[in-house]
């Protein structure tokens, strides 16, 4: 029996220490976890749109506009929500949007996406801890929401995504435009998401001119989903030997490299050899200046093993990648890795492991397809097990090698199911669109840089809602087995597909965008959408034969087809500035897809199968746009429970009656 006269004091001190320890743990979990909740997340990516005033000399600003495609930095002060940041680096950003911004935009000074780098001229300067932010224009997006919704869905299913908001930009107090504001993939992103600044980031982009010529665009139009509606006898592509060529349904042969892929500088992630120069689309766009040859060789080693299907868990963040492809498949973005564009994504490499990160979704929800009702049906029924366009599954090994594994296929299906049930069928999708409309409606109404009229914006939202809900219905059917999950099987059973003829796809916008205020009238469609299929098929060979030069002879021939001066100019711009826009005018190329992916097709895995129920669930922070794993705070919870047990024991001991010593 304890008889010490100090027992009460000792117990009281223990209780106090327990209280203090518990309090400190809770405080530390919420205060010192700055990597997950940095100041800029609250200040810049909250519920209200941000205001940005660029204070710059007129000459510098005009020089930026006149030489937009050069993407050269200028220095300016930035006033963000009333807070001034001095000597900020500013430049234009984008590829096709730069060539189209001036022609298609509503602003007489152009409508270019902008990038703001806080530490370009002043070392260590940040926007409340953020290194770089971007404000993107709305080219091709009448809804103003495609990018936002895309990242929201990615975030919902647990993919690491940039924070998003909207920003109203002025230049020396004069309106410039309204667009979506994004956190860039930089050191601050790694610190926030991974609680580390180690590793390398690569912004994967194809180089202009390396994706073939205008003939590619014609072939993709002819070999796209519309051919399915013409009852063409489509067949799946067989695998081809390295260095040979593929022939699709009697069309022009397309030269290939190992894996059946045309050279794209590594954007396809097809392993070719160990030469760094073979992967220019990856390494030419390294985010950090300290990128070394050994860093690059780690990526190549990962690609080699991934293409061979060996040690996938070692070289690929498998779970994160499956989540990415589940969300990506839902959104049908053909300007991406899963099309013959093989671009618009980031690779994060850390200790030899690769993670794919989402980027550039303004053309999601079928934004690169023709805007007719049959095109909407193609978007809605996009196959979940062969979600590629213009290429074979084997040409996209990051996706194909994972789906060849039954366990991974089932987990991929499970994530699709979670998105369908939790984001769409729950009503979250529609309510998010309504909330965004409340947030940005007045800004859209007064947007001087608009590619679309305010009436077109308002009309687009109902079509966006219906398209998304029908897409979820089709995915549900594919998971349940009532709708085929591959393109070839859908060709054989078209009667099972969801009818989306009620959706006007062109109302959502398209690749070419639309003229803004003072331009086209409501109801007109974008530059690409202004062409019908027959016009496209007749016009492209004319420009191809003219070798891209808009000669008088070529122009006269195009005019005879019934094209307007603006349409001809748009075609010429796209050939010269954005060659090989494969996939425009069509959805997945049925003739060129294969169904090499493994089992699990058409079935939803048991919730307990393969440990899917045990996978760390993700907590979605809607206000901040941040994904926080519920497992990340497990250590805090365990410590608190232990301390509470100790505290309870101490309390019981103090309260226990004691015998008085005689």
pLDDT at 227: 37
Mean pLDDT on 629-656: 52
Two structure tokens written together for 499? 């009818």
Dist CA 496 CA 485 (whole Å):
11
218 lies in some domain: no
Same domain for 140 and 55, yes or no, is: yes
Dist CA 589 CA 220 (whole Å):
7
Same domain for 60 and 199, yes or no, is: yes
Where do we find the tokens 């530059």?
527
Per-residue CA distances from 344 to 333, 336, 364, 576 (Å)? 10, 5, 12, 20
User: Is the distance from CB of 514 to CB of 530 less than 8 angstroms?
Assistant: no
* pLDDT value at 218 more than 90: no
pLDDT at 552: 79
User: Is the distance from CB of 364 to CB of 332 less than 8 angstroms?
Assistant: yes
What is the separation of C-alpha 631 from the centre of its chain, rounded to a whole number of angstroms?
25
Domain final residue, candidates 204, 233, 257: 204
User: Is the distance from CB of 332 to CB of 366 less than 8 angstroms?
Assistant: yes
Domain count, the chain: 2
Same domain for 44 and 23, yes or no, is: no
Same domain for 21 and 157, yes or no, is: no
pLDDT at 368: 78
* pLDDT value at 420 more than 70: yes
pLDDT at 358: 98
pLDDT at 462: 97
85-134 pLDDT, tens digit per residue, is 999 999 999 876 665 555 444 444 558 999 999 999 999 999 999 999 99
602-630 pLDDT, tens digit per residue, is 333 333 333 333 333 333 443 333 333 44
488 lies in some domain: no
Structure-derived torsion over alpha carbons of residues 225, 228, 229, 233, reported in degrees to the nearest 10: 160
Residues of the chain above pLDDT 70, percent: 62
* pLDDT value at 225 more than 60: no
Residue 653 — pLDDT band, cuts 50, 70, 90? low
pLDDT at 220: 47
Q: Which of 26-30, 70-74, 286-290 is predicted with the least confidence, judged by mean pLDDT?
A: 26-30
Q: Which of 27-41, 150-164, 648-662 is predicted with the least confidence, judged by mean pLDDT?
A: 648-662
pLDDT at 211: 40
Q: Which of 164-168, 269-273, 504-508 is predicted with the least confidence, judged by mean pLDDT?
A: 504-508
Choose between 115 and 212: higher pLDDT: 115
250 CB-near residues (< 8 Å, 6+ apart):
none
Per-residue CA distances from 424 to 79, 366, 416, 440, 469 (Å)? 38, 18, 11, 22, 6
Q: The domain containing residue 17 runs over which residues?
A: 7-33+644-655
Structure-derived torsion over alpha carbons of residues 190, 127, 147, 36, reported in degrees to the nearest 10: 40
pLDDT at 553: 80
Which range of 338-352, 526-540, 542-556 scores highest in mean pLDDT? It is: 338-352
Dist CA 381 CA 474 (whole Å):
6
Structure-derived torsion over alpha carbons of residues 394, 400, 404, 408, reported in degrees to the nearest 10: 180
Question: What SS3 class is residue 201?
Answer: strand
pLDDT at 535: 58
DSSP character at residue 316: B
* pLDDT value at 287 more than 70: yes
* pLDDT value at 421 more than 60: yes
| Residue 254: how many other CB atoms lie within 10 Å | 20
Overall size of the chain counted in residues: 662
Per-residue CA distances from 539 to 108, 250, 356, 535 (Å)? 29, 21, 37, 6
What is the separation of C-alpha 529 from the centre of its chain, rounded to a whole number of angstroms?
23
Mean pLDDT on 130-144: 94
Mean pLDDT on 494-508: 93
* pLDDT value at 245 more than 60: no
Same domain for 43 and 186, yes or no, is: yes
User: Going along 63-163, which residue ranges are E strands?
Assistant: 74-80, 83-93, 113-117, 132-136
205 CB-near residues (< 8 Å, 6+ apart):
95, 267, 281, 285, 343, 344
Residue 15 — pLDDT band, cuts 50, 70, 90? low
227 lies in some domain: no
Dist CA 259 CA 239 (whole Å):
8
Same domain for 48 and 184, yes or no, is: yes
Dist CA 67 CA 203 (whole Å):
23
User: Is the distance from CB of 119 to CB of 100 less than 8 angstroms?
Assistant: no
175 lies in some domain: yes
Domain final residue, candidates 204, 219, 241: 204
Dist CA 375 CA 170 (whole Å):
37
Helices (H) and strands (E) in the chain, counts: 22, 14
320 lies in some domain: no
515 CB-near residues (< 8 Å, 6+ apart):
104, 105, 106, 451
DSSP character at residue 498: P
Q: Report DSSP letters for 448-479, one per residue.
A: TT-SS-HHHHHHHHHHHHHHHHHHHHHHHHHH
User: Is the distance from CB of 393 to CB of 581 less than 8 angstroms?
Assistant: no
Question: What SS3 class is residue 493?
Answer: coil
User: Going along 24-70, which residue ranges are E strands?
Assistant: 50-55
Same domain for 20 and 137, yes or no, is: no
Residue 641 — pLDDT band, cuts 50, 70, 90? low
Dist CA 464 CA 460 (whole Å):
6
Q: Which of 43-52, 565-574, 596-605 is predicted with the least confidence, judged by mean pLDDT?
A: 596-605
Q: Which of 196-205, 225-234, 268-277 is predicted with the least confidence, judged by mean pLDDT?
A: 225-234
Closest CA to 219 of 259, 256, 247, 261: 247
Choose between 57 and 227: higher pLDDT: 57
Same domain for 129 and 19, yes or no, is: no
Question: What SS3 class is residue 117?
Answer: strand
pLDDT at 587: 44
pLDDT at 589: 41
Choose between 646 and 174: higher pLDDT: 174
Dist CA 617 CA 610 (whole Å):
15
141 lies in some domain: yes
Dist CA 481 CA 567 (whole Å):
43
Two structure tokens written together for 106? 């509503």
User: Is the distance from CB of 331 to CB of 266 less than 8 angstroms?
Assistant: no
Two structure tokens written together for 408? 């991974």
* pLDDT value at 359 more than 80: yes
547 CB-near residues (< 8 Å, 6+ apart):
none
Closest CA to 215 of 548, 480, 588: 548
Dist CA 146 CA 160 (whole Å):
18
392-411 pLDDT, tens digit per residue, is 999 999 999 999 999 999 99
417 lies in some domain: no
53 lies in some domain: yes
- The tally of CA atoms less than 13 A away on the side-chain side of residue 201 is 21
Same domain for 17 and 142, yes or no, is: no
Where do we find the tokens 């223990």?
14
Same domain for 122 and 191, yes or no, is: yes
pLDDT at 149: 98
User: Is the distance from CB of 224 to CB of 366 less than 8 angstroms?
Assistant: no
Mean pLDDT of the chain: 77
pLDDT at 659: 42
User: Is the distance from CB of 325 to CB of 317 less than 8 angstroms?
Assistant: no
Same domain for 158 and 22, yes or no, is: no
User: Is the distance from CB of 396 to CB of 337 less than 8 angstroms?
Assistant: yes
Domain final residue, candidates 178, 204, 230: 204
pLDDT at 645: 60
Q: Report DSSP letters for 244-255, one per residue.
A: -EE--TT---EE
Mean pLDDT on 18-28: 57
Same domain for 23 and 114, yes or no, is: no
Mean pLDDT on 469-491: 97
Dist CA 609 CA 192 (whole Å):
32
Q: In what helix (H) or strand (E) does residue 409 lie, and over which residues does it extend?
A: helix 406-419
Q: Which residues of 151-176 are buried (b: 16+ CB within 10 A; e: fewer)?
A: bbbbbbbbbbbbbbbbbbbbbeeeeb
Per-residue CA distances from 207 to 64, 113, 640 (Å)? 22, 19, 53
Mean pLDDT on 131-144: 94
* pLDDT value at 212 more than 60: no
């Amino acid at each position: 029996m304890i008889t010490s006269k100090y027992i009460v004091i000792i117990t009281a001190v223990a209780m106090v220490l327990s209280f203090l320890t518990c309090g400190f743990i809770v405080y530390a979990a919420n205060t010192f976890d700055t990597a997950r909740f940095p100041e800029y997340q609250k200040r810049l990516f909250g519920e209200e749109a941000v205001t940005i005033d660029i204070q710059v000399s007129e000459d510098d600003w005009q020089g930026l506009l006149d030489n937009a495609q050069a993407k050269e930095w200028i220095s300016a002060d930035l006033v963000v929500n009333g807070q001034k940041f001095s000597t900020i680096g500013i430049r234009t950003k984008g590829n096709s949007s730069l060539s189209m911004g001036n022609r298609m935009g509503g602003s007489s000074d152009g409508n270019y996406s902008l990038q703001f780098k806080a530490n370009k001229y002043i070392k260590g300067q940040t926007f409340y801890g953020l290194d770089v932010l971007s404000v993107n224009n709305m080219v091709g997006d009448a809804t103003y929401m495609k990018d936002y919704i895309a990242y929201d869905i990615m975030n919902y299913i647990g993919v690491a995504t940039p924070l998003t908001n909207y920003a109203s930009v002025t230049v020396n107090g004069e309106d410039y435009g309204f667009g979506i504001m994004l956190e860039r993939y930089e050191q601050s992103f790694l610190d926030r998401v991974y609680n580390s600044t180690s590793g390398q980031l690569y912004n994967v982009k194809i180089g202009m001119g390396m994706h073939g010529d205008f003939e590619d665009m014609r072939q993709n139009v002819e070999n796209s989903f519309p051919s399915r509606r013409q009852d063409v006898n489509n067949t799946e592509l067989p695998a081809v030997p390295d260095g040979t060529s593929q022939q699709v349904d009697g069309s022009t042969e397309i030269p290939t490299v190992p894996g059946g892929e045309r050279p794209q500088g590594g954007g396809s992630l097809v392993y070719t050899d160990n030469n760094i120069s073979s992967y220019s689309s990856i390494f030419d766009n390294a985010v950090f200046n300290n990128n070394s040859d050994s860093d690059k060789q780690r990526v190549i080693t990962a690609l080699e093993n991934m293409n061979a299907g060996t040690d996938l868990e070692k070289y690929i963040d498998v779970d994160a990648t499956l989540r990415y492809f589940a969300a990506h498949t839902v959104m049908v973005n053909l300007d991406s890795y899963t099309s013959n564009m093989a671009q618009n994504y980031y690779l994060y490499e850390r200790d030899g492991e690769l993670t794919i990160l989402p980027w550039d979704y303004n053309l999601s929800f079928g934004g690169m397809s023709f805007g007719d009702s049959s095109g909407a049906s193609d978007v809605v029924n996009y196959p979940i097990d062969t979600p590629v366009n213009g290429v074979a599954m084997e040409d996209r090994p990051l996706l194909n090698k994972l789906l060849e594994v039954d366990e991974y296929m089932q987990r991929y299906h499970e994530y699709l199911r979670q998105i369908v049930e939790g984001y769409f069928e729950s009503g979250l999708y529609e309510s998010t669109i309504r909330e965004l409309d409340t947030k940005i409606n007045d800004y859209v109404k007064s947007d001087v840089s608009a590619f679309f009229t305010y009436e077109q914006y308002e009309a687009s939202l109902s079509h966006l809602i219906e398209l998304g809900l029908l897409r979820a219905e089709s995915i549900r059917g594919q998971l349940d087995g009532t709708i085929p999950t591959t393109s070839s099987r859908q060709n054989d059973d078209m009667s099972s597909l969801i009818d989306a003829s009620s959706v006007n796809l062109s109302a959502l916008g398209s690749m070419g965008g639309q003229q803004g205020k003072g331009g086209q009238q409501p109801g007109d469609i974008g530059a690409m959408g202004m062409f019908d299929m027959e016009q496209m098929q007749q016009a492209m060979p004319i420009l191809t034969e003219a070798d891209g030069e808009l000669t008088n002879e070529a122009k006269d021939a195009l005019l005879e087809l019934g094209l307007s001066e603006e349409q001809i100019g748009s075609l010429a711009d796209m050939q010269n500035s954005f060659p090989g826009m494969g996939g425009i005018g069509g959805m997945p190329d049925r003739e060129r897809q294969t169904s090499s992916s493994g089992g699990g097709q058409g079935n939803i895995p048991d919730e307990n199968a393969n440990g899917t129920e045990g996978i760390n669930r993700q907590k979605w922070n809607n206000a901040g746009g941040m994904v926080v794993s519920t497992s990340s705070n497990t250590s805090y919870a365990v410590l608190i429970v232990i301390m509470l047990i100790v505290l309870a024991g101490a309390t019981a001991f103090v309260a226990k009656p004691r015998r008085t010593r005689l």
